[in-house]
Chains A and B, each alone.
Chain A
């Protein structure tokens, strides 16, 4: 009797702590979203208010006074482009790595994650400038593919490794070339893996700050790069700044909710088996 009672209390205590941690983790996000719907007088009110008349004026101002829609389009072009490139490069690479069991190329792509991005940015910038590519989307898409390709490879590797070898061999006996095995046998079997890899690649590319900071120009500026400029003038337009932040945060949050079950493996790049 007493043990079940104390177990009951232990569970309640656990839930309470969990709730407190949850508030600490989520409150800033909620505050940001609320602030984006506040009138400018409410944003700077002290003490801060929880009750206010919601308004869309910050979002309207954002669209009317800045080319934010075109920044959004730029963001989508860059993210979709680099995700596609990551898939196109990473899927066959992961298949070959799994087939040959030669894993050092996969490790090499991880090394890129350890080096400060600015180290690559200097040579990239010089190269892209000499090639006359600065001003186009290509430098940004290519640089973000350095982020997305390893994600795709590392997420897909366990999926490809999970296909029994004999299925590949049966296909060989049936008359498949290796390329055809990838298309007709392996890809359909790892379809869900490709979807998850694509979503995570999308999120990471969307969130990446450093490369667009340097490689984007006024025509190719993405939402994140543009938001950095808003910070400077932020003190006068906080509501607008929070509207920007909310809009940028929305796609990754929504996508992540969709794949939350597979998030662990993806986020740790295979370091932990979810």
Chain B
């Protein structure tokens, strides 16, 4: 059990920086998820913490120990790989016992630990099988078991769910979360799936181009995205972005000059930003309303999901989506009236993408 501190990490493979001057504190027993699009540096960052990749510059601390020159073997961490990386020539038992064996643990102690982990993960019946004879989900559990028996300071997960089918993924996701509450060990989980990030994390690190965009709880990241990238990355379907500007005393859509009813403090912020901004509003925060007070839009596409219905339309020349009650039964071609929940809209700087405060 340990906290992790990253100080001014820079990583390059000779070309452009994969990670640029990144600092991060992860508390003891915290479950942190690194999320971002592919190529954002999240896996590299995890491998740096694991000791599989040296840093170009900066320091890594696990506990209070600086581990820059400590090889992976001596960092007391456990890692679950995307392809599980089970040893094909060893049984499930052998896979789980291997690391303990290397540490010179007694046979009795190894046996106790392996069986305890196997019980926890429900894989006792397979202990004598080889990885080849297991299903994808079972392999995934063995990979977790191999990490659990170690009783490490830190658990690292490198997209461990991406090779599972959708149904199994939801189930294992819940299991990992339950496990993390049971084990009370520091865990870092890398994923490109924002749903996994939202559902599992104590705190989320949103990464883009090797730079931390936001580091906060799932609620904060969702409710108060720090910039347009985070706002667009977290949430599905993605947030709607509309150009707006200040016209006299009114905030209007840049596309067609229609006025938006927003609170007064927004006007001040927009003023400070030079009168122009990008408005961000999630599909669930676009509400249907009385045609007399709303903005009219014509429906272009309807996607019924069962629990909700997604309605696609153009707003001042920009495509947008609203999440509506399926009972409304919207149809393509119909005109609807919309308004935005005033407290749930975000404004971002046109140039920097930073949220306007």
* Residue B32 interfacial (CB < 8 Å): no
* Residue A136 interfacial (CB < 8 Å): no
Instruction: Kindly state the separation between the CA atoms of A166 and B47 in the bound complex, as whole angstroms.
Output: 11
Interface residues on A, range: 10 to 19
Interface residues on B, range: 20 to 34
Other A-B pairs, 4, CB within 8 Å; known A175-B103, A184-B98 = A172-B73, A173-B99, A174-B102, A174-B146
B145-164 at interface with A (beta carbon < 8 Å):
146, 150
Measured CB to CB, the nearest residue on chain A to B74 is: A175
Residues 66-80 of chain B, each 1 if its beta carbon lies under 8 Å from chain A, else 0: 000001111001110
Write out the residue numbers on chain A whose beta carbons fall within 8 Å of the beta carbon of B102: 174-176, 180
A172-192 at interface with B (beta carbon < 8 Å):
172-177, 180, 184-185, 188-189
A137 smallest CB distance to B (angstroms): 36
Cβ–Cβ contact B73 & A177, under 8 A? yes
A85 smallest CB distance to B (angstroms): 26
- Also in contact, A166 and B99, with CB within 8 A (given A173-B52, A189-B89): no
Cβ–Cβ contact B72 & A172, under 8 A? yes
Measured CB to CB, the nearest residue on chain A to B147 is: A173
Residues 160-204 of chain A, each 1 if its beta carbon lies under 8 Å from chain B, else 0: 000010110111111111001000110011000000000000000
Instruction: Kindly state the separation between the CA atoms of A78 and B85 in the bound complex, as whole angstroms.
Output: 41
Instruction: Kindly state the separation between the CA atoms of A180 and B101 in the bound complex, as whole angstroms.
Output: 12
A193 smallest CB distance to B (angstroms): 13
Measured CB to CB, the nearest residue on chain B to A177 is: B73
Given A169, A172, A184, A189, which contacts B88 in the complex, CB threshold below 8 Å?
Answer: A189
Residues 308-336 of chain B, each 1 if its beta carbon lies under 8 Å from chain A, else 0: 00000000000000000000000000000
Cβ–Cβ contact B71 & A169, under 8 A? no
- Also in contact, A164 and B72, with CB within 8 A (given A174-B98, A176-B102, A189-B89): no
Cβ–Cβ contact A175 & B82, under 8 A? no
B305 smallest CB distance to A (angstroms): 36
Instruction: Kindly state the separation between the CA atoms of A171 and B87 in the bound complex, as whole angstroms.
Output: 9
Measured CB to CB, the nearest residue on chain B to A180 is: B102
Residues 90-112 of chain B, each 1 if its beta carbon lies under 8 Å from chain A, else 0: 00000000110011000000000
Q: Kindly name the residue among A167, A172, A175, A184 whose own CB sees the greatest number of chain B CB atoms within 10 A.
A: A175
Measured CB to CB, the nearest residue on chain A to B53 is: A169
Write out the residue numbers on chain B whose beta carbons fall within 8 Å of the beta carbon of A188: 89
- Also in contact, A164 and B89, with CB within 8 A (given A173-B50, A174-B98): no
* Residue B61 interfacial (CB < 8 Å): no
Instruction: Give 22 pairs: A residue, B residue, CB < 8 Å, sorted on A.
Output: A164-B83, A167-B85, A167-B86, A167-B87, A169-B52, A169-B79, A170-B81, A170-B85, A170-B87, A172-B52, A172-B71, A172-B72, A172-B73, A173-B77, A173-B99, A174-B146, A174-B150, A175-B102, A175-B103, A177-B73, A184-B98, A189-B89
Cβ–Cβ contact A175 & B87, under 8 A? no
Cβ–Cβ contact B81 & A169, under 8 A? yes
Write out the residue numbers on chain A whose beta carbons fall within 8 Å of the beta carbon of B89: 188-189
Q: Is the interface of B mostly helix, strand, loop or mixed?
A: loop
B345 smallest CB distance to A (angstroms): 44
A175 smallest CB distance to B (angstroms): 4
Instruction: Kindly list the 5 A-B residue pairs having the minimum CB-CB distance in the complex, ordered from nearest.
Output: A174-B99, A166-B85, A170-B85, A172-B72, A175-B102
Instruction: Kindly state the separation between the CA atoms of A49 and B52 in the bound complex, as whole angstroms.
Output: 72
B173 smallest CB distance to A (angstroms): 21
Instruction: Kindly state the separation between the CA atoms of A144 and B150 in the bound complex, as whole angstroms.
Output: 47
Instruction: Kindly state the separation between the CA atoms of A177 and B89 in the bound complex, as whole angstroms.
Output: 18
Instruction: Kindly state the separation between the CA atoms of A173 and B85 in the bound complex, as whole angstroms.
Output: 11
Measured CB to CB, the nearest residue on chain B to A167 is: B85
Write out the residue numbers on chain A whose beta carbons fall within 8 Å of the beta carbon of B103: 175
Given A169, A175, A189, which contacts B99 in the complex, CB threshold below 8 Å?
Answer: A175
B71 smallest CB distance to A (angstroms): 7
Cβ–Cβ contact A166 & B83, under 8 A? yes
A161 smallest CB distance to B (angstroms): 16
Write out the residue numbers on chain A whose beta carbons fall within 8 Å of the beta carbon of B146: 170, 174
